[in-house]
Amino acid sequence: MKKELPEDGVLQRAYDSDDKSAHYDNWADEYESDIEKERFVGPEEAAALLHSIVPTSAKVIDFGCGTGLVGAQLQSLGYQQVFGVDISEGMIKQALQRDCYRSVRHHDLCTPLLDDIRYQAGICVGVCAFGPVNADHIVHMTGALDSGAPLVITINGKAWDEMDWPQQLEDAQIQQGYTVEYIKTIPYLVDKQIDAKLLIIRNAELESKLICQPPEQYSDD
């Protein structure tokens, strides 16, 4: 029997759920086939941007890695040191089967990541939307990176307007000490005609970015 997808899209159903980890645990087995039906291109868009500014020798952390779509993209681009974190054990199990991560661990992005190592880049796709991960939590991601290292992050276009992400980011940048360096509108859930914003964010100490240069084009067109 053909499975009906919700009118508002499969990601919207996830964003509306109160218990995110339980929701994603239950969804893990079918996540990729569902998301494929809506032509989710966030992972490839974000990985391509990261690849344009970060050498493939870098240690990269994938925040909210899910089943590993971003890790697979990075692997195909030549990255061999990719680490994943996610709140859902079901998603982690799927990501581990992909074999594109050095490790995949449980972590809640609403809390600081207490790691011994620092990463040279971060990527976060499909997590920032209607909450609970919001602009105040981005500092927990940039805090896991080398000083001045880039975080490439998508923000769902519907949520960008409805949750006033521009204002959230403006306030959080000042209070938390990170800088939004680049914003571009990208296709995202193509069949739902939902786009996203693709951002490069760095923690405040920009001078020390030795290996990661910004892309040439900064405008949103």
Ligand X SMILES: C[S@@+](CC[C@H](N)C(=O)[O-])C[C@H]1O[C@@H](n2cnc3c(N)ncnc32)[C@H](O)[C@@H]1O
Contacts with ligand X by CB under 6 A lie at: 11, 14, 20, 24, 42-43, 64-66, 69-70, 86-88, 91, 107-110, 125-127, 133
For ligand X, the closer of residues 23 and 184 by Cβ is: 23
**Minimum CB distance to ligand X, residue 82 (Å):** 12
**Minimum CB distance to ligand X, residue 169 (Å):** 18
For ligand X, the closer of residues 138 and 148 by Cβ is: 138
For ligand X, the closer of residues 9 and 148 by Cβ is: 9
**Minimum CB distance to ligand X, residue 213 (Å):** 24
* 142 vs 180: CA distance, rounded Å: 11
For ligand X, the closer of residues 69 and 149 by Cβ is: 69
Q: Which residue is nearest to ligand X (CB)?
A: 66
